Amino acid sequence: MLTDLLMMKIGDLEIKEMPLFLAPMEDITDPPFRRICRRLGADVAVTEFVSSEGLIRDVAGSLKKMEFSEEERPVGIQIFGNQVDSMMNAARVAESANPDFIDLNFGCPVRKIVNKGGGAALLRDLPLMLKITEAVVKSVGRPVTVKTRLGWDESSKPIVELAQRLQDTGISALTIHGRTRAQMYGGTADWTLIGEVKNHPAIRIPIIGNGDVVDGPSAKALLDQTNADGIMVGRASVGNPWVFREIRHFLQFGAEMPEPPLEERIEVCRQHLEESVAWKGEITALLEMRRHYTHYFRGLFNFKPFRMRLMTTTNLQEVLQILEEIKEKYLP
């Protein structure tokens, strides 16, 4: 059927052709930011990664990370851990929140996760990774997906064989970040092996490409090189949720969109701020918003005095006043 050609499927979940995914990022992809990215063109959102141990112990912070609104659908809950039983139980808890799919984090490179045996640490123990994945797939009724990397380091990049073995466990889609754990987020993403996985005759599940997609041209380059079924965008969305709209426009028309006007940037930043305060409280929201400000207002001449104030104030009304001052200074 023609509709099948125009849809990507994760299990029984149908998503539009060539979907754009918002990557899971700790303290960034909370519900307010996910909603904004969905409004601006992201087709699928994934939660911040949630500790399996936190979920099965009813840790409040972990449970809160699973919450989402209907506006965010389709949405996946991502969990991490290195114990089979804990991951199975956590997946069942996640399933009770009624997400569209459950994602397993086997790619996070940060030390605090890896040192606990989670995230990319599983790239050094593939039998355990596969055992966890198979157990989770069997323990829940939702589609299960995996996000991982090419391998641990330059001497160990098993992703082509690993993808086939993960597929055999019953997962419904695989996202591949084109770096090793040793690279962290440095250097350049290598999309070659993503293409080898996608174009391997044994691969039947959707393959989602991730790494160094920052705009329309880089998204098209990844697709041209890999033939991936979808694209996941992470760091390029921070303070720049318009990246999804811009990528979609470029893929459809082959031309780059103008930057969003400053008035829109200020308004979206304000919405993001106020929704974050409502979600997690004033102090936490103001601290976490700081990583977004520079990107929301990139390119403004002599912006440093405003940036310094935004990065130091711990009062919502003061930040709102600063946004008004930015509007007065830079808009005609």
The CA distance from 66 to 47, in Å, is: 7
What does the CA dihedral 176, 182, 187, 188 come to, rounded to 10 degrees?
-20
Three-state DSSP state, 77: strand
Residue 61 Cα distances to 65, 104, 152, 308, 318, angstroms: 6, 19, 30, 30, 28
What does the CA dihedral 122, 126, 129, 130 come to, rounded to 10 degrees?
170
List CB contacts of 228: < 8 A, sequence separation 6 or more: 194, 195, 198, 207, 208, 209, 222
Contact between 176 and 197 (Cβ < 8 Å): yes
List CB contacts of 63: < 8 A, sequence separation 6 or more: 54, 55
The CA distance from 18 to 115, in Å, is: 35
**Residues labelled catalytic:** 108
